[in-house]
Amino acid sequence: MSLNPPVLLKEKEENNSKFVEIQHSQTTSIAAEDPLQNLCLASQEVLQKAQRSGRSKCLKCGGSRMFYCYTCYVPVENVPIQQMPLVKLPLKIDIIKHPNETDGKSTAIHAKLLAPEFVNIYTYPCIPEYEEKDHEVALVFPGPKSVSVKDISFHLQKRIQNNVKGKNDDPEKPFIKRKKTEEQDLNDSNCQDTTLKKIIFIDSTWNQTNKILTDERLQGLLQVELKTRKTCFWRHQKGKPDTFLSTIEAIYYFLVDYHTDILKEKYQGQYDNLLFFYSFMYQLIKNAKCSGDKETRKLIH
């Protein structure tokens, strides 16, 4: 007995719906297994060749390294700099590294290698003074007073206005004159560019951050938190939430959010190459774990 057309149509729609659900489930599963799969990256063939040939010499210090020298911040001999991508960033980045942080395990160096004109790395306690620039500088670090990326401009503007009010709070000046001066300065401040010009990241284990975070040179800076991102770092610290990112992840995700929430532009992979080394190492270690290849893991570490 044949089914009438409406029944057949309904059955076809149900099958299509199930197929879409299965596809979505499979895509979500793959994305969970490899969160870095959809990046717009330059060819990593140069890293594949370097991995096969093993460690190489740093052209500056002569040290034996894999992919790059973590003390000189340059690629090694078998990774020609011409074959590495260079990333243009919308602002400057300062990375403050804890003196006890192991250089060879730091992902902060990736940012310096891939965006050398925009990134500076300082070893604590030798860090810049930021007090005079607190209206155009922010620190990425979670905390009770941290704000989201989209609220940065609002809070920087408030800082400018508070600075103006503080400057004109002179009891010796007549009230009317004080009020006029304050109104003029506030009008001028509204015309000022409140775009963030520099962002600071702390490069250390989470247990080491307190010493740097409490330094008076960083006190009072606007703190920004990346609340919705999850790490896929292979050295994730036990007992810490998965929202605690590696340094290069924090830099990358901050810039993606900054691009869409502050610059109000569509993100099209402009900063993906910041994960050029990171994504390659992630895949290499993932494959090594699956195959039980301890030598590959040692090579990366």
Q: Are 288 and 299 in contact (CB under 8 A)?
A: no
What confidence score (pLDDT) does residue 117 get?
A: 97
Residues 199-249 have pLDDT tens digits of 999 998 877 888 899 999 999 899 999 987 887 866 655 656 566 788 999
User: Is the pLDDT confidence value at 300 over 60?
Assistant: no
Per-residue pLDDT of 178-201, as tens digits, reads 444 444 444 444 444 558 999 999
pLDDT for 139 equals: 97
Q: Model pTM greater than 0.95?
A: no
CA 195 from centroid of its chain's CA atoms: 18
Spans of all domains in the chain: 88-161+194-271
Q: How confident is the model at residue 14 (pLDDT cuts 50, 70, 90)?
A: low
Give percent of the chain above pLDDT 70: 71
If one counts every other C-beta atom within 10 angstroms of the C-beta of residue 197, the result is: 15
The single-letter code of the amino acid at 107 is T
CA angle centred on 140, ends 138 and 143, rounded to 5°: 105
As a residue count, the chain comes to 301
- Average model confidence (pLDDT) for the chain? 81
Say what the pLDDT of residue 172 is.
Answer: 60
